[in-house]
């Protein structure tokens, strides 16, 4: 999406409520400043919001889709991230307005009705899954199980809600205290598909592990949301040069700034959407140089001559792009 397309779709929403719901995690209630209904959404959708730091970030909606007058998002402050969550959690307050692109669903789009639905959430990955569960509870077929993991109880958003009586036989909440020996064993749950559909959202390690355990499930029955995005900045990052072959220009990409933002800062119009290495919009042909791929999109084959410029950097002193 170009900057012009992005701004044409953007709506300004009022931060009607900001509330801590777990350690370093805040729930934001976003409403129309005029009290109108908001663009509708389906369970599993996300919005793209622009915190004061200026970088667009995707946030899953965690409320029920039938609530037409508000969006709820929960944001965990990631001190090792690229700054979007820090800006959202520390610089956005009740009464502020925030620019938001309407909801998009890349996660919960299955049209089939499974015998049962298995939800697996790690950390803040509960957000799209909460919306899907609230939606499911409105339906006739409401058979589901939720397996929700965090390191400690303090890090678990909506913990009291899921400990409530309505969820007693449907929810497993587990904390591994950062000890690999205490990780919940999902194999007995996933060994036999039994007509189930699976939705998983959480840290990469959890999703990789669930992918491994469901390799024998049909592709259409397993759904993942890479909401957390690609690898964040690393302490070892160094500046490098980006050379644009077609426009015959070259710029330094500083530490802490993406190739995408570097190009924008120099007036180039570059399409993007997630800006977290998960959607594929900023795919760019690589002509020369050794990339440091950090996206979750490209195949090993594609990595030879393509790069996601919203997250990836360079291992060589320069990269030449087909731009």
The distance between the two most distant Cα atoms of the chain, rounded to a whole number of Å, is: 64
Distance CA 302, CA 272 (A): 18
Minimum distance, C-beta of residue 190 to ligand FES, in the bound complex (Å): 29
Backbone φ and ψ of 148, nearest 5°: -125, 120
Cβ of residue 273: shortest distance to ligand FES, in angstroms? 5
Q: Is 306 a binder of ligand FES (CB under 6 A)?
A: no
Q: Which is nearer to ligand FES, 209 or 276 (CB)?
A: 276
Toward ligand FES, which CB reaches closer, 87 or 258? 258
Stretch that binds ligand FES, among 18-26, 62-70, 220-228, 267-275 (CB under 6 A): 267-275
Compare residues 73 and 310 and give the one whose CB is closer to ligand FES. Answer: 310
Closest contact distance (angstroms) between CB of 109 and ligand FES is 18
Specify the residue, 65 or 291, whose C-beta has the smaller distance to ligand FES: 291
Quote the least distance from Cβ 50 to ligand FES, whole Å. Answer: 14
**Number of residues forming the site for ligand FES (CB under 6 A):** 14
Within 268-297, the residues that bind ligand FES by CB under 6 A are 272-275, 277-282, 295, 297
Nearer to ligand FES, 170 or 264 (CB): 264
**For residues 232 and 320, what is the distance between their CA atoms, to the nearest angstrom?**
22
In whole angstroms, how close is the CB of 3 to ligand FES at the nearest point? 13
Pick out residues in 100-119 that bind ligand FES (CB under 6 A).
none
Q: Which one, 222 or 310, has the nearer CB to ligand FES?
A: 310
Q: Which is nearer to ligand FES, 114 or 271 (CB)?
A: 271
| Minimal distance, residue 259 CB to ligand FES, in Å | 10
CB of 277 to ligand FES, least distance (A): 5
Min dist CB 194 to ligand FES, Å, is: 35
Tokens of 137: 């509870």
φ, ψ dihedrals at 193, nearest 5°: -70, -45
Could you say which residues in the range 226-265 bind ligand FES, by CB under 6 A? none
- Please report, as ranges, the residues that interact with ligand FES according to CB under 6 A: 272-275, 277-282, 295, 297, 308, 310
């Amino acid at each position: 999406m170009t900057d012009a397309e992005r701004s044409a779709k953007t709506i300004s929403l009022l931060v009607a409520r900001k509330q801590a719901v777990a350690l370093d995690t805040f729930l934001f209630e976003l409403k129309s400043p005029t009290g109108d209904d908001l663009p509708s959404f389906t369970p599993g959708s996300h919005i793209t919001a622009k915190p004061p730091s200026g970088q667009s970030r995707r946030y899953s909606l965690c409320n029920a889709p039938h609530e037409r007058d508000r969006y709820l998002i929960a944001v965990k402050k990631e001190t090792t991230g690229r700054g979007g969550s820090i800006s959202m959690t520390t610089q956005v307050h009740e009464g502020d307005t925030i620019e938001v692109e309407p909801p998009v669903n890349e996660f919960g789009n299955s049209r089939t009705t499974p015998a049962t639905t298995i939800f697996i959430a790690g950390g803040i990955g509960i957000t799209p899954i909460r919306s899907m569960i609230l939606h499911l509870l409105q339906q006739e077929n409401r058979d589901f199980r939720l397996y929700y993991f965090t390191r400690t109880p303090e890090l678990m958003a909506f913990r009291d809600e899921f400990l409530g009586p309505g969820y007693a036989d449907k929810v497993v909440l587990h904390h591994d205290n950062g000890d690999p020996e205490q990780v919940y064993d999902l194999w007995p749950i996933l060994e036999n598909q039994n007509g189930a559909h699976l939705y998983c959202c959480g840290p990469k390690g959890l999703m990789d592990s669930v992918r491994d355990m469901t390799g024998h499930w049909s592709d259409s029955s397993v759904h993942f949301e890479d909401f957390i995005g690609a690898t964040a900045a690393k302490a070892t990052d160094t500046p490098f040069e980006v050379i644009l072959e077609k426009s015959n220009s070259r710029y330094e990409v500083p530490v802490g700034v993406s190739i995408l933002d570097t190009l924008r800062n120099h007036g180039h119009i570059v399409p993007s959407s997630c800006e977290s290495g998960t959607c594929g919009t900023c795919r760019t042909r690589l002509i020369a140089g050794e990339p440091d791929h950090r996206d979750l999109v490209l195949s090993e084959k594609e990595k030879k001559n393509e790069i996601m410029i919203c997250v990836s950097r360079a291992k060589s002193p320069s990269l030449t792009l087909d731009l």
